[in-house]
DNA sequence: GTAAAGTCTATACCTAGTATAGGGTCAACA
DNA sequence: TGTTGACCCTATACTAGGTATAGACTTTAC
């Protein structure tokens, strides 16, 4: 199949597919006579794997590491588990940061009503502090 | 004062200060004979305002809008309040996304133990789906 | 034959900075 | 007076993960 079909089947845009190729994540198995990229069913599986990883917010470098690891079926998978675990720690941390931000924002929001003038705005006053 | 002192007092790096200037957020009030940027106390206040906004994750464009609004003290401040409110909505939304991600990651994490081989790795198997 | 749809590469753009190169300025000290 | 070191200048490239073009080529359908 050509890139447009792969794009539709995978849900990745054509540009994204070419971008992943440039990043060394993903190759076309072939080129047609007219230099079009040609893919097969295993390309689709590989691309879905990448998409799944991206949906977990794994970086491209991390995905590359996962793919490397996958190529060594007899090695220990602890690096994979560590990666996921570290990611969970990071996400937890990020959530805490955002919760704090949300609190600050809600305090700000309650410092002003809409029918004031700029010079009396409670939000702007808090921002000045 | 020169940029180095402003940097120390504000906690913004020198490059960041010059970056804000380039973005039209923030100007030096003067230049010395040797072309050094010269700042005063009001520069420090302005920069702290910007920093405060950035700590709320407001974008540079949004900060520009706030600064514009600040220059019209007699207008209504509702745009400021809307901005903060919309931000809170976005942050809330992002937190929900991350909570879901965290759940997925923890499900993944529990799918495998460290003493397996790559070909048996529960995490990688989940990623294949 | 030709028009439309699809594809190609290369490049620029996005955010909010950070890092560097290569040079100029200024103050203190020998 | 020379020079050393700290500071500053501009311009440019880089980061992550794409997205969006321009300009050209290929393929398909009528």
The whole-number Å distance from B104's CA to D19's C1' is 28
Q: Looking at residues A80-102, what average pLDDT do you find?
A: 95
Which of A74, A78, A127 is opposite residue B52, by nearest beta carbon? A127
What is the total count of domains within chain B? Answer: 2
A53 and A87: one domain?
no
B4 and B37: one domain?
yes
A65 and A95: one domain?
no
**A38 touches A29 (CB < 8 A):** yes
A2 and A56: one domain?
yes
Q: Looking at residues B94-114, what average pLDDT do you find?
A: 93
pLDDT-derived band of residue A115, with 50, 70 and 90 as boundaries?
confident
Give the separation between CA B103 and CA A57, rounded to whole angstroms. 13
- Half-sphere exposure of residue B80, counting CA atoms within 13 Å on the CB side? 32
Across chain A, which distance is largest between two alpha carbons, in Å?
70
pLDDT tens by residue, A56-84: 999 999 999 999 999 999 999 999 999 99
The whole-number Å distance from B57's CA to C15's C1' is 12
- Give residue A65's pLDDT: 93
Q: Which of residues 44-83 of A touch B (CB under 8 A)?
A: 45, 49, 52-53, 56-57, 66, 69-70, 72-78, 80-81
Give the separation between CA A78 and CA A47, rounded to whole angstroms. 23
Domain of A25: which CATH number?
A: 1.10.1660.10
Closest-CA residue of chain A to B95 = A95
pLDDT-derived band of residue A129, with 50, 70 and 90 as boundaries?
confident
Q: Is B42 on the interface with A (CB under 8 A)?
A: no
B71 and B81: one domain?
no
A91 and A32: one domain?
no
Give the separation between CA B88 and CA B84, rounded to whole angstroms. 6
Give the separation between CA A107 and CA A126, rounded to whole angstroms. 9
- Give residue A6's pLDDT: 97
Chain B hits for A75, CB-CB cut-off 8 Å, are: 117-118
A46 and A83: one domain?
no
Residue after which a domain boundary falls, among B30, B49, B75 = B75
- Give residue A74's pLDDT: 92
3 state SS of B37: strand
B57 and B88: one domain?
no
- B4 strand D contact, CB < 7 Å: yes
Q: Which of residues 20-39 of A touch B (CB under 8 A)?
A: none
Q: Which domain holds residue A34?
A: 1-75
Burial of B66 (0-12, 13-18, 19+ CB in 10 A): buried
Q: Is B110 on the interface with A (CB under 8 A)?
A: no
- Give residue A58's pLDDT: 95
- Give residue A112's pLDDT: 93
pLDDT tens by residue, B31-63: 999 999 999 999 999 999 999 999 999 999 999
Chain C bases closer than 7 angstroms to a protein Cβ: 6-9, 15-20, 24-26
A45 and A86: one domain?
no
Which of B77, B78, B81 is opposite residue A109, by nearest beta carbon? B81
Which of B81, B91, B112 is opposite residue A114, by nearest beta carbon? B81
Residue B115 has pLDDT above 90, yes or no: no
Residue B114 has pLDDT above 90, yes or no: no
Chain mean pLDDT for chain B: 94
The whole-number Å distance from B3's CA to C22's C1' is 20
The whole-number Å distance from A54's CA to D25's C1' is 33
pLDDT tens by residue, A19-56: 999 999 999 999 999 999 999 999 999 999 999 999 99
3 state SS of B128: helix
Question: Whats the size of chain A, residue-wise?
Answer: 129
Residue A10 has pLDDT above 90, yes or no: yes
A69 and A82: one domain?
no
Residue B75 has pLDDT above 90, yes or no: yes
**A58 touches A67 (CB < 8 A):** no
Residue B83 has pLDDT above 90, yes or no: yes
pLDDT-derived band of residue A4, with 50, 70 and 90 as boundaries?
very high
Closest-CA residue of chain A to B54 = A127
B71 and B94: one domain?
no
pLDDT tens by residue, B15-24: 999 999 999 9
B44 and B98: one domain?
no
What percentage of chain B exceeds 90 in pLDDT? 96
């Amino acid at each position: 199949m050509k890139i447009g079909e792969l794009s539709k089947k995978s849900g990745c845009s054509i540009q994204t597919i070419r971008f992943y190729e440039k990043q060394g994540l993903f190759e076309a198995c072939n080129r047609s006579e007219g230099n079009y990229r040609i893919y097969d069913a295993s390309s689709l599986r590989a691309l879905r794997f990448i998409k799944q990883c991206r949906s977990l917010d794994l970086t491209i470098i991390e995905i590359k590491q996962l793919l490397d690891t996958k190529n060594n079926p007899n090695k220990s998978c602890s690096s994979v588990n560590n990666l996921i675990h570290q990611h969970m720690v990071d996400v937890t941390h990020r959530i805490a940061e955002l919760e704090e931000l949300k609190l600050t924002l809600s305090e700000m929001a309650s410092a002003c009503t809409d029918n004031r003038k700029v010079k009396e705005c409670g939000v702007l006053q808090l921002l000045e502090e």
